[in-house]
Structure 1
Amino acid sequence: MPRITEADLKKQIKNKSFSPVYLIYGSEQMFVKSYTKKLCEAVAGKNPSDFNYHTFSGDIDFQELAASLQIMPFMAERNCVVVTDIYFDNMVKDRLDTLKELTSRAWDGTVLIISMPTYVPSKNKTSFTALVKRVEKIGSVCCFEKINSQIIEKYVAKWANENGKLISHLNASKIISNVGDDLNLLKNEVNKIAAYAKGEEITDRDIDLLSTVNLEARTYDMADDVINGRGDKAFRKLDTLFCQREEPINILYALSSAYVDAYRMRVADECSVSKETVAKDFAYKNRAFVLNRARTSVSRTSTEALRKSLDVLVETDEKLKSVSVNQRFLIEQLISRLLLIAKEGRI
């Protein structure tokens, strides 16, 4: 069988028309986990018997796996064997050959499910590519890739609705900006905010009071303050980052990313290039929403000031990596220099 889509997998689960072997993996691990659970329940039932349900994980015993695959169902339609999070990247040849042999045939009465709910295999690894090809010949391979920001916003709205709350497009985007695009983290965050929000709709204030903010979002806020001359706010945010024990090099990288985004949008606007083209050319994917913010943030800053700022960021990066200095002092000095450049480059 060829690779299957999410819709194909849904149909197989609904109709109970199972392949003898499944391989479910991908970077969108919330889907990997949820669909593996749905598939297992469809094959073995919600409360399966130990006779017909066998699980393996990590560094597995292939002899035990082979024995489980040969067990005939006892008072059930099928025997279900689930293998999760096999570490392919450094698998030795003998073990890989055994696994390929076990997955290259249909076992009477058995459905074999190989799933990666917490581990994303390297696609360019020969070991994993070989497994994919083997499973494709006899079973079904379903890969859940990262989804785009518009679809993520729909999920945020769906989860809010499940909690009895409404949420606007802008506020859904704000939560994503704060938390990032990991669906597991986002779902937990929406559930938390919805539980404490008092009104019928999740408001901007609810998000400000309750939302967890990741390093990228906090640093983007700080960059916005620096670019727009709000030095007191910028240094307060920097103090907060240090109090939370963020590494100076990580702060620098996140700050540099914010300035690079801003510079790309400035050059794109000057050359009449659309935001969508920038997002595609630089592979922003689910981070495309940061480009609107970057464009707005530097609306009153000259292009030359942005270039000077990038030079200072590169210089600071070199010092952090090559000179024995007080790293906190170096980052504080960087913020001061960026504030001065922004003031001189105001338009």
Structure 2
Amino acid sequence: MSYIKLKEKIKKGQLAPLYLLYGTEQYLIDEITQQLLSKALTDEERDFNLSVYDMQEQPVDSAVEEGQTLPFFGDRRVVIIKNASFLTGAKGKDKIEHNLKVLEEYIENPPGETLFIIIAPYAKLDERKKLVKKLKSGGEVLQADSFDDQLKAKWLQDKAEEMNLSLPSEAKEKLLQLAGRDLMQLASEFQKLALYAGESKSITVEAVEMLIARTLEENIFALVENVVYGRTEKALRIYYDLLKQNEEPVKILNLFARQFRIILHIKELSRRGYSRQKIAGHLKLHPYAVKMAEQQAKGFSEKELATILKELAEMDYQMKMGKMDKKLILELFITQLKKEPKKARPR
């Protein structure tokens, strides 16, 4: 079952007696686990009716016995077993001896009063095992894999709606571009933006650009964008900041060349009629980065881009041969690239 569908069922209170949560996206596993707990137990009931077992330290028999015990001062009991490596093909890692037969018997007829949650934070399970087959056929199953860009956008929108926040599409795209590689990081950065929004209840693209830390590649993207639109002062400010962070001019130049190659590729592919989504897949870029590079490409002809790439190759040679100060080479390139700046986009 997909994360979205499982989340919707939990929200409606449609709880099952048995859950299997596996995969490498720990954030999704943690979030679904917390949602199940919140729906099944009050804070007061957790002291009496929540039990957590680590399969690296405790036998599965103990967890099964707990699952068969009636809830105390409440309607439900929740039993969580973590690190269920016995569901994988790994051998010799378990220090604890598990009686998996009792777990198989439990799965065949789980008590309705207990939510039994099995967590296996591994990429694959051993589908040949009888226990895995029984779990997948008898319980609710979440394979917690990394989201694609579309699912991340949906996840962000749902989060914004849950918190009554306005998240315009441009701010959402910018946030995905800057922090969308890892869901845990994306969630953390979104929480930061939500706190910053405060009473305005609005996350703006300006807030995203101000609060979200950029990687070196993203700083190069911003540097190129400022150069393209004639914002030389802002471009130099980013460049000087990178130098203060001890980034090597040769490395900056190579990333500069990479960005201009991307712009050239996008210009060529657009001319051939490729859609933005298809270009993103072909170049392995986020669609928002393609959208921004498309706009940057409008400021150059293919011939101009080819000339710039030749200049960057010559600059790389000059740096490596020590013919001129490395920092000065790049500074001159930034200031001279756009002798007659195009009209800057509104910021």
Shared fold per TM-score greater than 0.5: yes
Aligned to 1:83: 81
Mapping for residues 82-121 of structure 1, pairs under 5 Å: 82-84=80-82, 92-95=90-93, 101=100, 104-106=104-106, 108-109=110-111, 111-115=115-119, 121=122
Aligned to 1:61: 57
Counterpart-to-counterpart distance in 2, 1:141 and 1:266: 44
Aligned to 1:280: 281
Counterpart of 1:294 in structure 2: which amino acid? A
CA drift of 1:296 comes to 0.9
Q: Aligned pair count? A: 325
The correspondence for 1:32, drawn from 22, 29, 34, is: 29
CA drift of 1:269 comes to 1.8
Counterpart-to-counterpart distance in 1, 2:225 and 2:35: 44
Counterpart of 1:335 in structure 2: which amino acid? L
Structure 1 gaps of 5+ residues are none
Counterpart of 1:169 in structure 2: which amino acid? S
Q: Is the 8 A contact 1:153 1:169 kept in 2?
A: no
Q: In 2 relative to 1, CA 155–251 (structure 1 residues): closer, same or farther, beyond 3 Å?
A: farther
- Over residues 80-134 of structure 1, what are the superposed CA-to-partner deviations in whole Å (9 max), with x where a residue is unaligned? 332346789x985034696793765535545432347xx6x445xx769978656
Mapping for residues 175-254 of structure 1, pairs under 5 Å: 175-180=175-180, 182=183, 183-195=186-198, 201-203=202-204, 205-207=206-208, 210-215=210-215, 216-227=217-228, 231-244=232-245
- Over residues 318-345 of structure 1, what are the superposed CA-to-partner deviations in whole Å (9 max), with x where a residue is unaligned? 999xx899xxx75x4673585489459x
Q: Is the 8 A contact 2:40 2:78 kept in 1?
A: yes
Structure 2 gaps of 5+ residues are 343-347
Counterpart-to-counterpart distance in 1, 2:52 and 2:167: 40
Q: Is the 8 A contact 1:225 1:233 kept in 2?
A: yes
CA drift of 1:52 comes to 3.8
Aligned to 1:73: 69
Q: Which is higher, the Rg of structure 1 or of structure 2? A: 2
- Over residues 240-277 of structure 1, what are the superposed CA-to-partner deviations in whole Å (9 max), with x where a residue is unaligned? 23434668798567655533432321111222222122
CA drift of 1:145 comes to 4.4
CA drift of 1:34 comes to 2.1
Counterpart-to-counterpart distance in 2, 1:111 and 1:314: 62
Counterpart of 1:32 in structure 2: which amino acid? I
Aligned to 1:135: 135
Mapping for residues 148-187 of structure 1, pairs under 5 Å: 149=149, 152-153=152-153, 156=156, 166-180=166-180, 182=183, 183-187=186-190
Counterpart of 2:277 in structure 1: which amino acid? E
Counterpart-to-counterpart distance in 1, 2:22 and 2:162: 27
Residue identity (%):
17
- Over residues 131-168 of structure 1, what are the superposed CA-to-partner deviations in whole Å (9 max), with x where a residue is unaligned? 86563244332124444556655655665566665443
Q: In 2 relative to 1, CA 230–99 (structure 1 residues): closer, same or farther, beyond 3 Å?
A: farther
Counterpart-to-counterpart distance in 2, 1:61 and 1:318: 58
Cα RMSD of the aligned pairs, angstroms, is 4.8
Q: Is the 8 A contact 1:308 1:341 kept in 2?
A: no
